[in-house]
């Protein structure tokens, strides 16, 4: 789920706010200074905080560069790529869990826990440590002008749970989140594309371990995510891995398999491969070296850019394929794309630039550092939110429909997929039994027609409904998605004013693949779903009709002629038989006959209600 609405503020009392790109591999802070966003480079460093955490045997925890360095010697006590676990449950992260060196568990709320040196840590807590480190660097760069206000970026495909987890991480770090911003939008902001009157931007983000492409439209300063596609396991690391494999083939002839498989040695190989890959971005040829004096190992091999490109091409084509899918999803032709923005360190690879340019048929923006562009955009956003002037309005859409389970298991969709957020919608519900004083609500997300095929976002109960005949209570259920994409569902009974609400902050989230899967599923199952939903709704409707008719017959049978009573009895018997069979067509037919048969009874009942209403009243009062 996405974001965002940005209000233009012009007040004078301004306080700095930091833009933070909380990345899978690296995190970075940026700030608005002297009319432009700048990355915070403390003490001459490059400002990046590797998103790594190391747990010392003395109970110390180090974050960033030092953690990454210590991981080389003691990889068993270092954690990387925490972002992949944010807002997820164990079942969502089976693949990523394999590269975690410590036991993984889940707390009773379904939040993942890493167990390191006898202590448990949630991804939120670990991300909080990274945020603290970035914040600390920023404040030092600011020369003591403390600010706790931050804007944090997340991928466009992050769902509610992942966004909530990011927000919680900031809260744990004592930071005040002004906005959660989508990374592609931040990148577009950094390039000032919000100043365009109209256009469509493709943001191609190839980082270390993840790839995504997002298509955004800009209209009069309003940004909108049209579609987003990608692969959460595609990036520069895959290219390192290809070089590592090539090296392993060579090395396996000279060193034992146990050394080859050693985590520390693997890490050494990976770093050597990365160095070689980076060099190949500027040089036509580069060497890969592995030097291990204790094993008397000194290995080197040269790779040409051409060799590397042959290895890398299939990986890069997967990214280009995702661009095709994003265009198809947004129903856009290639010619509709006016601007292409490159994000992520791996977009420095000449082959990546070439293929992106060939595919989109235009030169991508490369003027800004692709590692910094998201943080810079977050700083632009932070600037505007704290009173700076840049007239922009950003928006996003919900990737999946949101709704409520109705009696019988069908879903009443309240907010439809692709609605621009922030947005609200209200749907009326009622009781299904006489004297029912509470309703259980089941909030779901997805495109399928039955609740059991959608994803549960939360459940809550509205109590305090006055005892009334079935169907008489009036309960308004309101769904509201705020500018950060967080959903609140509230229910209000209109007679008593009884209310209940739930903030949907699910414990774990969907993968983008799952979102896609759920969308696909809904197409595949559309027909069956439609029938299932129709049947369930019919069953509920017929059930209510039967109860009301039985009730009516008890009171008014004597006022009906014999033939009417017989018709009613017959049609009720047919309806009950069709209910047993669970056959939509048969039930539909029986329901129609039954409805016609109830008309005389309904007329008698209405007459009576009218008579009662008139009792004791003068005609002129009517």
Annotated catalytic residues are: 21, 83, 183, 205
d(CA 272, CA 279): 11
Stretch that binds ligand AMP, among 131-139, 340-348, 417-425, 456-464 (CB under 6 A): 340-348
Binding mask 203-222 for ligand AMP (x = CB under 6 A): ----xx--------------
Which residue, 173 or 352, is less far from ligand AMP as judged by CB?
352
Find the shortest distance in angstroms from Cβ 27 to ligand AMP.
9
Find the shortest distance in angstroms from Cβ 26 to ligand AMP.
4
Pairing type for strands 396-397 and 222-231 reads unpaired
Binding mask 117-146 for ligand AMP (x = CB under 6 A): ------------------------------
345 binds ligand AMP (CB under 6 A): yes
274 binds ligand AMP (CB under 6 A): yes
Phi, psi of 466, rounded to the nearest 5 degrees: -65, 145
Stretch that binds ligand AMP, among 11-19, 158-166, 273-281, 290-298 (CB under 6 A): 273-281
Find the shortest distance in angstroms from Cβ 72 to ligand AMP.
16
509 binds ligand AMP (CB under 6 A): no
Stretch that binds ligand AMP, among 146-154, 339-347, 387-395, 429-437 (CB under 6 A): 339-347
Phi, psi of 114, rounded to the nearest 5 degrees: -95, 135
Asked if 330 and 308 count as a contact pair (C-beta separation under 8 A), the reply is: no
Binding mask 279-318 for ligand AMP (x = CB under 6 A): --x-------------------------------------
Of 602, 604, 575, the closest CA to residue 591 belongs to 575
Task: Name which position in 155, 236, 408, 600 contacts ligand AMP (CB under 6 A).
Answer: 236
Q: Where are the alpha helices (DSSP H) in 194-262?
A: 236-251, 257-261
Three-state secondary structure call for residue 371: coil
User: Rounded to 5, what percent of the chain is helix, strand, coil?
Assistant: 45, 25, 30
Find the shortest distance in angstroms from Cβ 318 to ligand AMP.
15
Asked if 473 and 453 count as a contact pair (C-beta separation under 8 A), the reply is: no
552 binds ligand AMP (CB under 6 A): no
Residue 16 CA to its chain's centroid (Å)? 28
Find the shortest distance in angstroms from Cβ 271 to ligand AMP.
10
Task: Name which position in 135, 179, 348, 455 contacts ligand AMP (CB under 6 A).
Answer: 348
Three-state secondary structure call for residue 345: helix
Q: Which residue has the tokens 């009974």?
A: 493
Task: Name which position in 25, 27, 232, 522 contacts ligand AMP (CB under 6 A).
Answer: 25
Which residue, 64 or 345, is less far from ligand AMP as judged by CB?
345
d(CA 393, CA 600): 59
Give the pair of three-digit tokens for residue 139: 């404040």
Stretch that binds ligand AMP, among 68-76, 234-242, 325-333, 397-405 (CB under 6 A): 234-242
**Segment 170-173 long-range contacts (CB within 8 Å, at least 24 positions apart):** 170/128, 170/131, 172/124, 172/125, 172/128, 173/128, 173/129, 173/131, 173/132, 173/135
Q: Which residue has the tokens 């000032």?
A: 192
Question: Counting Cβ atoms within 10 Å, is residue 417 exposed (0-12), middle (13-18) or buried (19+)?
Answer: middle
**Residues with Cβ < 8 Å from 344, sequence gap 6 or more?**
205, 206, 207, 208, 211, 235, 236, 370, 371
Find the shortest distance in angstroms from Cβ 275 to ligand AMP.
9
415 binds ligand AMP (CB under 6 A): no
d(CA 373, CA 189): 9
Find the shortest distance in angstroms from Cβ 277 to ligand AMP.
5
155 binds ligand AMP (CB under 6 A): no
346 binds ligand AMP (CB under 6 A): yes
Find the shortest distance in angstroms from Cβ 303 to ligand AMP.
13
Find the shortest distance in angstroms from Cβ 536 to ligand AMP.
46
Of 177, 182, 178, 226, the closest CA to residue 205 belongs to 182
Task: Name which position in 38, 278, 423, 519 contacts ligand AMP (CB under 6 A).
Answer: 278
d(CA 405, CA 477): 12
Which residue, 188 or 571, is less far from ligand AMP as judged by CB?
188
Three-state secondary structure call for residue 74: coil
- How many residues sit in the footprint of ligand AMP (CB under 6 A)? 18
277 binds ligand AMP (CB under 6 A): yes
- Name the closest residue to ligand AMP (Cβ): 236
Per CB under 6 A, which of residues 350..409 are in contact with ligand AMP? 371
Which residue, 224 or 365, is less far from ligand AMP as judged by CB?
365
Per CB under 6 A, which of residues 438..467 are in contact with ligand AMP? none
Q: What is the DSSP letter of 363?
A: P
Residue-wise DSSP of 554-578: HHHGGGS-HHHHHHHHHHHHHHHHH
Strands, DSSP E only, in 156-255? Answer: 176-182, 198-206, 211-219, 222-231
188 binds ligand AMP (CB under 6 A): no
Stretch that binds ligand AMP, among 80-88, 275-283, 308-316, 587-595 (CB under 6 A): 275-283
Binding interface with ligand AMP (CB under 6 A): 23, 25-26, 207-208, 235-237, 274, 277-278, 281, 344-346, 348-349, 371
């Amino acid at each position: 789920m996405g974001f965002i609405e940005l209000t233009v503020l012009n007040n004078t009392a301004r306080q700095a706010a930091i833009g933070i790109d909380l990345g899978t591999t690296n995190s970075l802070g940026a700030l608005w200074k002297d009319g432009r966003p700048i990355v915070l480079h403390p003490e001459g460093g490059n400002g990046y905080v590797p998103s790594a955490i190391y747990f010392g045997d003395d109970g110390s925890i180090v974050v960033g560069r030092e953690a990454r360095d210590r991981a080389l010697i003691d990889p068993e006590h270092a954690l990387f790529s925490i972002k992949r676990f944010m807002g997820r449950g164990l079942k969502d992260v089976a693949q990523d869990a394999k590269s975690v060196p410590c036991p993984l568990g889940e707390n009773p709320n379904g939040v993942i826990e890493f167990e390191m040196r006898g202590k448990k840590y949630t991804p939120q807590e670990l991300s909080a440590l990274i945020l603290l480190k970035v914040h600390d660097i920023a404040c030092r760069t600011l020369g003591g002008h403390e600010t706790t206000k931050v804007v944090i970026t997340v991928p466009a495909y992050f769902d509610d749970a992942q966004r909530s987890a990011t927000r919680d991480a900031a809260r744990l770090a004592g930071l005040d989140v002004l906005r959660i911003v989508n990374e592609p939008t931040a990148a577009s902001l950094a390039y000032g594309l919000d100043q365009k009157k109209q256009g469509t931007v493709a943001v191609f983000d190839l980082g270390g371990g993840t790839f995504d492409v997002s298509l955004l439209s800009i209209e009069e300063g309003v940004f909108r995510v049209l579609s987003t596609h990608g692969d959460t396991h595609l990036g520069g690391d895959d290219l390192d891995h290809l070089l590592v494999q090539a090296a392993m083939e060579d090395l396996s002839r000279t060193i034992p398999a146990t050394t080859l498989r050693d985590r520390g040695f693997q890490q050494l190989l990976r770093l050597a491969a990365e160095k070689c890959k980076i060099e190949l971005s500027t040089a036509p040829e580069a060497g890969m070296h592995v030097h291990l004096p204790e094993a008397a190992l000194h290995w080197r091999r040269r790779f040409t850019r051409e060799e590397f490109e042959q290895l890398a091409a299939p990986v890069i084509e997967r990214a280009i394929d995702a661009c095709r899918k994003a265009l198809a999803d947004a129903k856009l032709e290639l010619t509709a794309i006016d601007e292409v923005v490159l994000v992520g360190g791996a977009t420095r690879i000449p082959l990546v630039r070439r293929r992106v340019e060939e595919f989109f048929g235009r030169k991508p923006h490369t003027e800004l550092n692709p590692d910094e562009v998201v943080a810079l955009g977050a700083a632009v956003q932070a600037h505007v939110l704290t009173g700076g002037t840049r007239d922009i309005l950003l928006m996003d859409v919900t990737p999946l429909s949101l709704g409520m389970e109705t009696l019988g298991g069908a879903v009443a969709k309240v907010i439809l997929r692709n609605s621009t957020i922030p947005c609200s919608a209200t749907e009326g519900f009622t009781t299904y039994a006489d004297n029912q004083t509470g309703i259980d609500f089941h909030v779901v997300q997805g495109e399928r027609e039955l609740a059991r095929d959608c994803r549960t976002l939360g459940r809550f109960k509205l109590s305090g409904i006055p005892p009334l005949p079935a169907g008489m209570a009036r309960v308004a259920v309101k769904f509201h998605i705020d500018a950060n994409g967080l959903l609140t569902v509230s229910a209000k009974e209109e007679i008593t004013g009884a209310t209940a609400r739930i903030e949907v902050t699910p414990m774990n989230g969907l993968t983008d693949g799952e979102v896609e899967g759920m969308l696909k599923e809904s197409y595949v199952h559309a027909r069956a779903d439609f029938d299932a939903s129709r049947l369930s709704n019919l069953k509920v409707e017929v059930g209510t009709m039967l109860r009301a008719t039985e009730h009516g017959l008890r009171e008014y049978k004597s006022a009906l002629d014999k033939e009417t009573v017989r018709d009613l009895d017959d049609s009720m018997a047919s309806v009950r038989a069709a209910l047993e069979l669970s056959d939509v067509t048969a039930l539909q037919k029986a329901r129609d006959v039954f409805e016609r048969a109830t008309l005389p009874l309904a007329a008698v009942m209405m007459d009576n209600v009218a008579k009662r209403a008139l009792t004791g009243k003068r005609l002129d009062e009517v």
